[in-house]
């Protein structure tokens, strides 16, 4: 597949062009900046499609979905004493609260306490689309994203966190990820994913099924004649091992999907 994060989508019954863009959920604006070209493309369409619109989610509702309300459950049970101690030291929150977290969702706590940037391309583009008075249509509801993770057994969630967070130098790994992203190196991004050795359950739930569902939403809007700008995590765009990405799925649905050359600003 062409190394590109930006794709033009054309559908026979829609006179206007639509666009698909691969985002990264953690982003350092000191490394590179979003080019004006993306904002102009958002201006040109009717609908902006983020993966999800987190403005609609209260903190209490989010906490309810990412924690376990069961007195017999404890996060401590899914990690070695050494790794649990690392998590506790990274997060610096009360142990009674921490122990209610589902294993996968301690990732956000770890990142927030490891000097990671607070910026997000997703939020930047969504804010712009709102300021431009675009119609916002979520590709997924927050509950659907959470359910994709809930399909993964807690032990497998913990293994992913151990491989992706605890066994690596997070800051250096983040810098490598940033460089791969700004260079639009999709193969390197796929290799980053393979390093955590995701299970079949993870691949099916987090990638395969979501790629299909998001592609269906995009295609449905295109069939209605809408023009749109869809912003999804970059790893949903290319094909990976045994999983079709959104570009391929839209092609199977009769869309013409072509890469657009662009570069990030510095």
Q: Work out the end-to-end distance of the chain between its first and last CA atoms, rounded to an integer number of angstroms.
A: 26
Separation of CA 230 from chain center: 12
Local mean pLDDT, 10-residue blocks, the chain (266 residues): 88 85 78 88 96 82 90 95 88 89 87 62 92 96 90 92 68 76 86 72 89 96 94 92 92 95 84
| pLDDT score, position 77 | 97
Residue 223: the pLDDT is: 92
pLDDT value, residue 171: 61
pTM of the predicted model as reported, rounded to 2 decimal places: 0.89
pLDDT of 158: 93
Given this model, what pLDDT does residue 163 score? 79
């Amino acid at each position: 597949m062409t190394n590109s994060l930006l794709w033009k989508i054309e559908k026979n019954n829609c006179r206007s062009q639509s666009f698909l863009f691969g985002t990264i959920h953690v982003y350092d604006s000191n490394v590179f900046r979003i080019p004006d070209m993306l904002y102009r493309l958002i201006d040109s369409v009717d609908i902006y499609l983020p993966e999800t619109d987190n403005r609609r989610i209260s903190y209490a509702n989010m906490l309810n979905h990412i924690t376990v309300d069961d007195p017999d459950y404890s996060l401590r049970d899914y990690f070695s004493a050494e790794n649990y101690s690392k998590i506790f030291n990274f997060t610096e929150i009360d142990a009674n609260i921490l122990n209610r977290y589902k294993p996968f969702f301690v990732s956000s706590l770890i990142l927030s306490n490891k000097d990671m940037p607070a910026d997000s391309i997703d939020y930047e583009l969504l804010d712009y689309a709102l300021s431009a008075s675009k119609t916002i249509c979520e590709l997924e509801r927050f509950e659907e994203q959470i359910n994709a993770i809930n399909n993964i057994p807690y032990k497998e969630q913990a293994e992913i966190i151990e491989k992706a967070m605890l066994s690596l130098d997070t800051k250096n790994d983040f810098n490598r990820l940033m460089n791969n992203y700004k260079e639009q190196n999709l193969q390197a991004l796929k290799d980053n994913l393979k390093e955590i050795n995701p299970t079949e359950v993870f691949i099916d739930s987090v990638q395969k099924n979501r790629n299909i569902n998001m592609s269906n939403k995009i295609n449905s809007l295109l069939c209605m004649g809408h023009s749109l700008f869809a912003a999804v995590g970059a790893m949903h765009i290319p094909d990976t091992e045994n999983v079709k990405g959104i570009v391929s799925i839209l092609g199977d649905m009769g869309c013409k999907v072509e890469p657009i050359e662009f570069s990030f600003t510095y």
